[in-house]
Chains A and B, each alone.
Chain A
Amino acid sequence: MRKPLTLRVLSSLDSKGWLALGIFLALALILVPVLNLAVPEDSAFHMSAYAITLIGKIMCYALVAVAMDLIWGYGGILSLGHGLFFALGGYAFGMYLMRQAGSDAGALPAFMIFLDWKELPWFWLGSDSFVWVILLVVVVPALVAFVFGYFAFRSRIKGVYFSIITQALTYAAMLLFFRNETGFGGNNGFTDFRLVLEHSITSPQTRLVLFGLTAIMLAATLVFSRWLVTSKFGRVLTAIRDSESRMMFIGYNPLWYKLFIWVVSAVLCGIAGALYVPQVGIINPSEMSPANSIEIAIWVAVGGRATLIGPVIGAFVVNLAKSWFTVSFPEYWLFFLGLLFIVVTLMLPQGLVGLWKKLMLKKGVAA
């Protein structure tokens, strides 16, 4: 008997995994709104708008980290340009927000008026439609990833060469987006959003809805990714990672396997970017800077590659440390980040999850 696909997806997580996911969603969808709206502001248990935005933002990063884990941890392909796909998703959704921010329907975004443009460039057509923009959020990163990945993987570009090319790709895109003529607001990018789907973007309710959507998306991505890596596809992918030429002699064509996971990863980044922009309120070309993409790899390395949950932990640990450091000792943050990367690479090749497993094993032996 073939097991139906829905059942297979459900059984890709064990009961403990589902329990953890359920607790996470209950916290995000019930406890956080209660602490924010129902608990009075002077109470110690009140959750501030700042905290919600911060955690919402980090959940977007965690989503990117899971996407990175699929391609790096399971596919063995280190991308140092994933910030590009994140930014593309963010810009796509930002277009919609800019149209909603205009003084009346059909008005040009403020930066275009400032540049004395008379009409929308062709690629802005349809950007006032929420559905069209959601489509763009998925399709644009997918298309860019597909075209780039097809030629890179077909030419059998691997390892550090691939990483360097992805780095160059995001850098080139950043330079392109810095130009006013490109039509995406130049170095200021998009900001001063007012409405999303006719609701005020700064109202507590909108903020909580965005927060909840991000939590749901993160949970759904974890389930989807777990199913993906436990399917035969996942086993083929890790086998290609470990010995690509052997897989070719068995009859698998690595090109399509790599391209598939590459495009999936890019789309997840695009969705994360689209959720990030309305919560943070700004998107500009610095999101495509090479340093940002390298940081994504650090989250994954810190949490533990090829574990899925590790990158989520890594994204939270590094970013919470970052928001504390940049307030308390702003000048030392980059030193700390560099140190963290060196320590993890040298002492914790399996990241925090690997450390945890090792400790549990030791405890088990001692007991």
Chain B
Amino acid sequence: MNALNTTAEALLDDRPSGSDGADQMGHLVTGELDLSHGVALYLDDITVSFDGFRALNKLNLTIDAGELRCIIGPNGAGKTTMMDVITGKTRPDSGSAFFGQTMDLTRLTEPEIAHAGIGRKFQKPTIFENHSVFENLELAMKTDKRVWKSLLAWLAADERDRIAETLRLIRLDKEADRPAGLLSHGQKQWLEIGMLLMQEPKLLLLDEPVAGMTDDETMRTAELFVSLAGKHSLVVVEHDMAFIEKLGGKVTVLHEGSVLAEGNLATVQNDPRVIEVYLGR
């Protein structure tokens, strides 16, 4: 098996070692995450076209470190495309996207961006249905995610504690050993939020996190997000106005791929352009 081991090691040498991937990816990432100027995410003049349709049209958006920002907008406004650009799934045709002062998101791959500290929750809950709730959290946990480390991985006591703590937070401690596919829709949403927390991201992108939740679950989610703000930056895409009101942060309205209005919820709701977009002309 020795020849095999060396092959595998050669495979793995491509990525740096150590537990904190982001810090050690210096040759791939243009510097470490630098939030010193108070800006977590900086999108400048981003344009993305699909077959001539402009999904994003010179989009400008700045998220401060520790900020909780809500993004609303009618269908097709470009909310999901914006998240695709931030997480490396879609490359913009023009414009620049920076994470902190130095990290150029348009040059990094999806796993590199994840290691750098951006976590994403999808619109449709995407959890691993064949894995148990516990295993879902284990897979998401921030750690060295290269092949060799996974082969030899063994959960340390503090890692088990962290998973247990997250299980309590998302109120799934009784479901830990059940296959995640058996959870209710609301529970799946919570599990995905839990997975996001296990990644310890600096910036959380949440695409319709409370869709399908009961009112009670929605309010608890809002409380959780508010408590996360400050230490983390959050970008929440939602349609549920009661939820957005509860979150309280600044609201950005997207329309046809660019920012239509920005401000607190009351200002935005009274903006005649926003009313026109939502109610039709």
Contact = CB atoms under 8 A, between A and B. Distances in A.
B145 A252 contact: yes
Contacts of A231: 150-153
B150 A251 contact: no
B154 A251 contact: no
A232 B138 contact: yes
* Interface bracket on A: 35 or more
B120 A249 contact: yes
B4 A257 contact: no
Interface string A244-270: 011111111100110110011001000
Contact of B87 (A2, A228, A242, A249): A249
Interface string B143-186: 00111001111101000000000000000000000000000000
Interface stretch (B66-74, B99-107, B127-135): B127-135
B188 interface: no
A251 B112 CA distance: 7
B36 interface: no
A320 interface: no
A135 interface: yes
A143 to B, nearest CB: 9
A263 B152 contact: no
A292 interface: no
Interface stretch (A193-201, A233-241, A336-344): A233-241
A259 B7 CA distance: 10
B51 to A, nearest CB: 21
Interface stretch (B8-16, B40-48, B252-260): B8-16
Interface string B1-45: 001100110011011000001000000000000000000000000
A15 interface: no
Contact of B4 (A142, A233, A247): A142
A146 B10 CA distance: 11
Interface string B204-231: 0000000000000000000000000000
A250 B3 contact: no
B233 interface: no
Contacts of B4: 138, 142, 263-264, 267
Interface residue tally on B, bucketed by range: 35 or more
A138 B4 CA distance: 8
B21 A3 contact: no
A139 interface: yes
A239 B154 contact: no
Contact of A253 (B111, B129, B135): B111
B139 A235 contact: yes
Contact of B140 (A139, A238, A250): A250
A158 interface: no
Contacts of B49: none
Contact of A256 (B21, B128, B146): B146
A249 B90 CA distance: 13
A267 B138 CA distance: 30
A247 B115 CA distance: 12
A243 interface: yes
B14 to A, nearest CB: 8
B250 to A, nearest CB: 25
A38 interface: no
A257 B147 contact: yes
Residue in B131, B138, B154 with the greatest tally of chain A CB atoms within 10 Å: B154
Contacts of B145: 236, 250-253
A5 B151 CA distance: 10
B199 A250 contact: yes
A7 to B, nearest CB: 10
Contacts of A243: 126, 128
A358 interface: no
Nearest to A135: B3
A137 B94 CA distance: 51
Given A252-B145, A256-B11, A139 B138 contact: no
B110 interface: yes
B192 to A, nearest CB: 9
Given A238-B130, A242-B129, A250-B140, A259 B111 contact: no
A357 interface: no
A251 B21 contact: yes
A246 B154 contact: no
A110 B52 CA distance: 67
A2 to B, nearest CB: 5
Contacts of B119: 249
Nearest to A241: B130
Given A3-B154, A138-B3, A256-B11, A233 B147 contact: yes
Contacts of B111: 248, 251-253
A179 interface: no
Given A135-B3, A231-B153, A238 B114 contact: no
B195 interface: yes
Contacts of B15: 253, 256
Interface in B80-132: 87, 89, 109-111, 114-115, 119-120, 122, 126, 128-131
Contact of B195 (A2, A135, A245, A250): A250
Interface centre among B7, B21, B130 (most CB of A within 10 A): B7
20 contacts: A139-B3, A228-B151, A231-B150, A232-B138, A232-B151, A232-B153, A233-B153, A235-B135, A238-B128, A242-B128, A242-B129, A248-B111, A248-B114, A249-B110, A250-B140, A250-B145, A251-B114, A251-B145, A251-B199, A253-B15
Q: Which 6 A-B pairs have the closest CB atoms?
A: A251-B114, A232-B153, A248-B110, A233-B150, A253-B111, A233-B151
